Amino acid sequence: MIKSELVKILSAIQITFESTKFDITPEKVELWYECLNDLDYTETKAVITKLAQTNKYPPSIAEIRQAAKPMIKISGYFEERHYSIEQIRTLEKQLLECNQTIAND
């Protein structure tokens, strides 16, 4: 998600939860962008809609991430695959271990 899309997300939260104070400041935009920029904009919009139906108060960054179950898209040569953050970390660990084994041989 790009920063302008995040501002749209924050505006949607502000409008949806208008009875609760939810100011959009430059500092909030920066912090939320740092924490949510890896999420897909369309998916995050859907998450906000879902949370608006069940939450009385604006969602936190953690609530949005939990509901989004972020997936990182990696384009491959033959097909497009989607991996969770945990899967990528596991693959990274395996590659590093493999690399160490090769270096030690």
Q: Return the domain boundaries, the chain.
A: 1-69, 70-105
* Average pLDDT for 31-58: 92
Closest among 6, 97, 82, 98 to 44, alpha carbons compared:
6
pLDDT at 81 over 70: no
DSSP 24: -
* Average pLDDT for 47-65: 93
pLDDT reported for residue 27: 96
pLDDT reported for residue 87: 83
> Is the CA virtual torsion 69, 52, 61, 32 positive or negative?
positive
Identify the CATH number of the domain defined by range 1-69. Answer: 1.10.8.200
pLDDT at 9 over 80: yes
Whether the predicted model's global pTM rises above the 0.85 cut: no
